[in-house]
Amino acid sequence: MIVVLTAQAGEQEKNQVIEMIERAGLRVHLSQGIERTILGIIGDRELAASLALEALPQVERVVPILRPYKLASRDFHPQDTVVTVGDVQIGGGKVQIIAGPCAVEGEEQILTAARLAKAAGASILRGGAYKPRTSPYSFQGMEEEGLKLLARARAETGLPVATEVVDPRSLELVAEYADILQIGARNMQNFLLLKEVARAGKPVILKRGMSATVEEWLLAAEYILSAGNFQVILCERGIRTFETSTRNTLDLNAVALARQLSHLPILVDPSHGTGKWKLVTPMALAGLAAGADGLMIEMHPNPSEAVSDGPQSLTPENFAHLVEQVRKLAIALGKELG
């Protein structure tokens, strides 16, 4: 941590800052430049970060040097983490496709979706039973009934099931039915939910918040890792920008960057990332080329009758077409469709 003093800061004001740092049990490395005095803080990162030095008028700014996450970093864990769900491996040279409707709407819908997903080449089924919706007047999910239908679809197709958790109170119930627990973008910084989900002992898909920096995303992962659950899968799903011709801006820079900063496997969700089914296939391919370990795709037996996210859902035909293109691309990238 580097502390830059203002140009006006005098000897006494400098000493006040040094004293504050030393009183906290940290050491100071002084660098007297021509125009600015800089203090380097040496010692425990968290302790240094807890000092409110910027509250002092003689401090111009404080620059953190070390990254604030540890367990999520490649420095800590240089090898790629591979998360295993049944016989499905996420990370480690495989490309996995998680597919299914936005929401579970009924038995026929989810069973049909599961069969079609599997037939086309998906390895995991998705479907929401608890739906966070922008409007209180929108469909909020089938809840436990939806979880049961997901379990039925798994029983029939053998596909493991990924579904979203939205509340610590229903977490145990969801964990009973699901193979992978998903934290949605809106809950990426619901820190209590992160701590709880860590304790459920199942793999967790952690979606990036729509205005979360990569650093905040990895810190959210750190909440789960530091609570003892290392089976964390990152998922980029689009950020909010000034561009409104797409629902979100799928940020593939973040995928390439997170791959370098972290050892955790990474998925890309081009359905939410674009909000437009016509853009899902090119952005799915782009996501893999950027380095993702898999895709999360909204596919519905009949998108125009979907109760949610129809406009970004692929038809079964378009989904099968996407999988074919993914298969070819994976080989060119030295990977293999899982």
Q: Note whether 7 and 36 are within 8 A (CB).
A: yes
Q: Are strands 37-42 and 2-5 parallel, antiparallel or unpaired?
A: antiparallel
DSSP SS3 for 32: strand
Give the separation between CA 157 and CA 245, rounded to whole angstroms: 37
**Residues in CB range of 205: below 8 A, 6 or more apart:** 162, 180, 181, 182, 183, 233, 235, 267, 296
Q: Note whether 270 and 73 are within 8 A (CB).
A: no
Least distance to a second copy from the beta carbon of 8, Å?
Answer: 9
Q: Which is nearer to a second copy, 156 or 317 (CB)?
A: 317
Give the separation between CA 13 and CA 272, rounded to whole angstroms: 51
Q: Which is nearer to a second copy, 72 or 88 (CB)?
A: 72
Measured over the CA atoms of residue 232, residue 213, residue 188 and residue 244, the dihedral's sign is negative
The number of beta carbons lying within 10 Å of the beta carbon of residue 72 is 28
Least distance to a second copy from the beta carbon of 90, Å?
Answer: 19
Q: How many CA atoms lie within 13 A of 282 on its CB side?
A: 5
Give the separation between CA 145 and CA 106, rounded to whole angstroms: 9
Q: Which is nearer to a second copy, 36 or 119 (CB)?
A: 36
Q: Which two tokens stand for residue 140?
A: 């909020």
Q: Which is nearer to a second copy, 4 or 111 (CB)?
A: 4
**Residues in CB range of 307: below 8 A, 6 or more apart:** 103, 105, 139
Structural element, H or E, at residue 15: helix 11-23
Q: Note whether 204 and 182 are within 8 A (CB).
A: yes
Least distance to a second copy from the beta carbon of 245, Å?
Answer: 5
Q: Which is nearer to a second copy, 203 or 275 (CB)?
A: 275
Q: Which is nearer to a second copy, 157 or 313 (CB)?
A: 313
Q: Note whether 277 and 317 are within 8 A (CB).
A: no
Secondary structure letter of residue 1 according to DSSP: -
Q: Which is nearer to a second copy, 177 or 223 (CB)?
A: 223
Given strand 27-32, what is the order of strands in its sheet? 27-32, 37-42, 2-5, 59-63
Least distance to a second copy from the beta carbon of 41, Å?
Answer: 9
Least distance to a second copy from the beta carbon of 154, Å?
Answer: 26
Least distance to a second copy from the beta carbon of 214, Å?
Answer: 5
Q: Which is nearer to a second copy, 154 or 259 (CB)?
A: 259
Q: Which is nearer to a second copy, 88 or 279 (CB)?
A: 279
Least distance to a second copy from the beta carbon of 69, Å?
Answer: 8
